[in-house]
Amino acid sequence: MDEMNLLGMQRAEFQHAKIVNRRSKWMQIFIVVISIASVFMTDRLFVYTLVLINLVLALLWLYFSTQAKKSHNIAERARRALVLFKGLGIALGRKSFADLKMSVKSSEDEWEKYKDANYFKAEGQYGYKMLTEMLEESCFWSKHLFKKCATRYWYYFIAVLALSVIGLLAVPLLNPAGSGLLISQAFCLVLIWLISGNLFADAYNFSSTASLLDSIEERLSSMVDKEEDNQDVLSVFCDYNALVGGAPTIPLGLYEKYRDKLNKLWDEQKQGLV
């Protein structure tokens, strides 16, 4: 097992999860647009057609969401293996690595693009101190990226919720008669409510996870300042894994957008400039 292969695998698989997750979000956008459009339609056949399209889109949304979560979980397995290997020198067994390799959706050619010897700033010999420094760095990145995600998803939730309320009020006003038409339009509005609920769950999850990661980062910073091996970091490692493993997938392009800024902020923080 090679450290760079694990890193490339982890990053490539996270990228795959982000791409598939974006597809699920596009399905949500299409559903919202079609559902709102159906509210203002009076042609029964046309509305029924929109309902069928929305049903197909809802199934695709479910499929892409499931696949994105699977890739996210696999990437998390690779990340945990990488942290243990680089931090404590504990390598996956041949069978475990082979199983992980067979589980990923990304190819070895894709791994090559994501190999980066400077991905982790922490350097040193294997040990609890090295693991602590790596976790502190990972926690810093996760916390700030999750905060950005939370802000974005709260905006999405408010926008979709507003559209669903408008649609709910408009249906009986625009179509006072025709129960069949109302039922079809109500079905579309239910899908919007499901999407708004999904966005709320993601926004809340990102917000609460970022808050908890902030306290974990403080614990890790305290351990790093003591400059000694501390086995308690294993407990923190478990807490961190539980939090980030259960968080939604970070949107595609968000990491790249804030990478340089966070790199600079991390360097300043370690130098005591912030």
Largest CA distance in the chain: 75
pLDDT band, very low/low/confident/very high, at 187 (cuts 50, 70, 90): confident
Q: What is the span of the domain harbouring residue 98?
A: 3-114+124-270
pLDDT confidence tier of residue 178, bands split at 50, 70 and 90: low
Task: Determine, yes or no, domain membership for 119.
Answer: no
Specify the amino acid at residue 144. Answer: H
* Residue 234 covered by a domain: yes
**Could you identify the residue written with the tokens 């502190």?**
136
The model's pLDDT over 28-63, given as tens digits with 9 standing for 90+, comes to: 999 999 999 888 887 888 888 999 999 999 999 999
Region of 52 on the Ramachandran plot (φ > 0 left; ψ -120 to 50 alpha; else beta)? alpha
Instruction: Evaluate if pTM is beyond 0.85.
Output: yes
Distance CA 69, CA 270 (A): 33
Query: Is 196 inside a domain boundary?
Result: yes
Q: Is residue 91 part of a domain?
A: yes
Residue 100 belongs to some domain of the structure: yes
Asked if 144 contacts 257 with a C-beta cutoff of 8 angstroms, the reply is no
CA-CA-CA-CA dihedral for 117, 221, 251, 33, to nearest 10:
-170
Q: Mind listing the pLDDT tens digit for each residue in 244-273? A: 999 999 999 999 999 999 999 998 888 876
Question: Can you read off the two tokens belonging to residue 70?
Answer: 């699977």
CB 127 within 8 A of CB 139: no
The per-residue pLDDT for 228 is 66
| Contact residues for 24 (Cβ-Cβ < 8 A; gap 6+) | 60, 61, 64, 65, 68
User: In total, how many domains does the chain have?
Assistant: 1
